[in-house]
Structure formats: C-alpha cells, structure tokens
Amino acid sequence: MLTIGKLGSKAGVKVPTIRYYEQIGLLPEAERSAGNQRLYGSKALERLAFIRHARDLGFTLEAIRDLLSLSDNPDQSCAAADAIAKAQLLEVENRLARLTALKAELERMVVQCAGGRIADCRVIEVLGDHSLCATDHLHPETEETP
Amino acid sequence: MLTIGKLGSKAGVKVPTIRYYEQIGLLPEAERSAGNQRLYGSKALERLAFIRHARDLGFTLEAIRDLLSLSDNPDQSCAAADAIAKAQLLEVENRLARLTALKAELERMVVQCAGGRIADCRVIEVLGDHSLCATDHLHPETEETP
DNA sequence: CTAATGTCTCTAGCAACTATAGCTTCAAGG
DNA sequence: CCTTGAAGCTATAGTTGCTAGAGACATTAG
C-alpha cells in the first residue's frame, strides 16, 4: 500500500492534485490507515496514471471522466471512446492551425522591429492595427492545456 | 461617443469583458453619461483593439499591461517591446512543438481503434500506458490562449 | 524521545473571463 | 406622453485545473 506522497511520485502527480481528483470524484475515496491517512493500491496507481496521461494529451477532466467510465465497463462498444478521442484530435488540429498563424505573425513583428524608439516600433504598431497582419489568427478561444 | 455595447461590437469584445478590463486597470475609467452609463471615444476603441489583438496573439494580460505602458511612452527604446514579443514567440514555438507531438499520438490512437469493444480499444489502452506512445508529449503545462 | 518530515482538513488564490440577480436608463412605437 | 423592451448598472459567484497557505495530527529516523 502506498501513501499519497509515494503514489504521487510514482505517477508524477502532486499530492494536492490527487486529493483534488478524489474530491471531484475522478478517483474513488481512498482507504484510510489507522491514523486516517490515505492508502492506495496498484489499481489507484493505474487509474491515476491514466488520468495523468490523458491530461498530458490535452483531454479535459470532463472528457477523462467519460473515458474512465467507459473503461470501467469494458463490454460496451468503443465508439464513444473513439468519438472523444476524435473530438480531441480536431481540437488539437484547430489549435495547431491557429498557433501556426500566430507564430508567423510574431515572427513578422519581431523581424520588422527596427530597434529604434517605440514610436517606430512595429511590435506596438502591429498590435494596434490588425490590418497590418498577414494572416487571420483570430480568437484563439482561451482554453487550457493543448 | 460610444456606449459600452457599441464599443464591444466594434472591437469584437464582450461587454462584461470591457468592464473587467476597466476593473483591472487595463482600460482607464470611462467617462459617464448623465445616467451613469459608460461612454467611450476613439482612443478607448484603439486601446481596446490593441488589447484584443494582443490577446488574439496569445499575450497574457500582464504582458499586455507592459506593452500598453510602453506604447503610452513612445520615446523610449523599443527593446523592451521587442523582448516581450520575442519571449512570446518562444512560448508559441514551444507550444507548437508539444501540440505537434500530441497530434501524432492522438492520430495513432484514433487510427488504431478497431471499433470493437472497449476491452480491445486502443484509445483506452494507450491512455492507460504511456509506454505505448511513439513520442514524448509530456507535460503540456496548462496555460491559456495559444 | 525528539525532531523532522509527511499528511490531514479547510480555505483562499491564480488567469481571464462568464453568468446571474436585481436594479436603472434609454430609445422607439403607439 | 407613456410604455415596453433592450441595454446598461453594480455586485457577487462560478468556471477549469489546479496551487498555496494555515494549523493540527501521524509517522519515521536518529
């Protein structure tokens, strides 16, 4: 049995994050020791690794919740899991496209900066006027993890 | 003079967002009409467009605050503005690299899904075991806007 | 046995908004 | 002139995915 700290270091997840996952129901309530400390077995480690990996791949906790409940019922069709992954792929492709446009724009800005005074600075100028942009890099839709 | 709604639709920014920007000091306190409604002139529109554009380019509000204070004092060297833009460019390049690895992994997952039962689903399987991954798509470091 | 970690709960904070509630003001139609 | 509906106001709370802190108990190394 692992304490929360051991579990965290094995899975590469910080301790408060584990407690947070338990709190929002992604992880089941842990067993407790006599002294009320959480104890975890290998199943919890697997589940946490799953969550961690899916987070690394950019899935939201909501999507992960769905994926976990799918993997808890292994007899169903995997169409749902496939759909979630495909949606995530689309999302990522979208962001890639936007980021690529952004990068081009930032490069243009930086290259054109003459290094003189602010009054001549292309960075400031371009930021003040979207029509100076070469591409449309619109509304990156603030979200989290790619 | 524009009302907050007109300003918002001209700049492509939602009304509560404008009030929020005022609240955190990115926009100066607006003039008020007799009936206490905010009124904006063209300077405010420019400033808001600047903010909006910089947000679209992925700058944080903190970076934007700095850029605005630079553009408010146009007699300085533009080295600072240039540095902010360069840092932002690096950031974007980083994210691009990570996203590209992610995309490859997601594509692999999706392609390999045979469409059978969860028990055989590659999506679930890969999520449970990082060693099945072809690339290192590690820790995308949760942030906002690309 | 003591000191140093580790863990516990609870609360508050981060970015960058968005949404809600309950009110006032404004512009246009009848 | 009056009413109705949209748009504005303030203030507060919620969102996502954590992270940080306080103050108290548990465990372990020396």
Cβ–Cβ below 8 Å for A123 and B73: no
Residue B122 and residue B84 in one domain: yes
Specify if A97 maps to a domain. Answer: yes
Residue A64 CA and nucleotide D16 C1' are separated, in Å, by 14
Distance CA A58, CA A146 (A): 5
Distance CA B88, CA B72 (A): 20
Residue A37, pLDDT > 50, answer yes
Q: What is the pLDDT of residues B74-113, one digit of tens each?
A: 767 688 788 888 888 888 888 788 888 888 888 888 888 7
Residue B11 and residue B55 in one domain: yes
Residue B142, pLDDT > 50, answer no
Upper half-sphere CA count for residue A128 (Cβ side, 13 Å): 19
Distance CA A136, CA B3 (A): 28
Specify if A71 maps to a domain. Answer: no
Residue B54 and residue B83 in one domain: no
> Do A128 and B70 touch, CB atoms closer than 8 A?
no
**Which residues have CB atoms below 7 Å from chain C, the nucleic strand?**
A 3-6, 15-16, 19, 30, 36-38, 142; B 14, 16-17, 20, 33-37, 55, 60-62, 144-145
Q: What is the pLDDT of residues B8-60, one digit of tens each?
A: 999 999 999 999 999 999 999 999 999 999 999 999 999 999 999 888 877 89
Full residue range of the structural domain in which residue A33 is found: 4-60
Give me B48's structure tokens. 């808001």
Specify if A139 maps to a domain. Answer: no
**Burial tier of A20 (Cβ tally within 10 Å: 0-12, 13-18, 19+):** middle
Total domains in chain B come to 2
Amino acid at A137: H
Specify if A20 maps to a domain. Answer: yes
Cβ–Cβ below 8 Å for B82 and A124: no
Residue A10 and residue A55 in one domain: yes
Distance CA A133, CA B142 (A): 28
Main-chain phi, psi angles of A26, to 5 degrees: -80, -35
- The SS3 call for residue A121 is coil
> Do A46 and A6 touch, CB atoms closer than 8 A?
no
Specify if A27 maps to a domain. Answer: yes
* CA neighbor of A123 nearest in space, from A135, A113, A133, A114: A113
> Do B47 and B21 touch, CB atoms closer than 8 A?
no
Residue A51: give its domain's CATH number: 1.10.1660.10
Residue A83 and residue A122 in one domain: yes
Write down which residue in B28, B59, B90 finishes a domain: B59
Specify if A87 maps to a domain. Answer: yes
* Chain B interface includes A96 (CB < 8 A): yes
Query: H or E stretch including B31?
Result: strand B31-32
- The SS3 call for residue B146 is coil
Specify if A125 maps to a domain. Answer: yes
Specify if A29 maps to a domain. Answer: yes
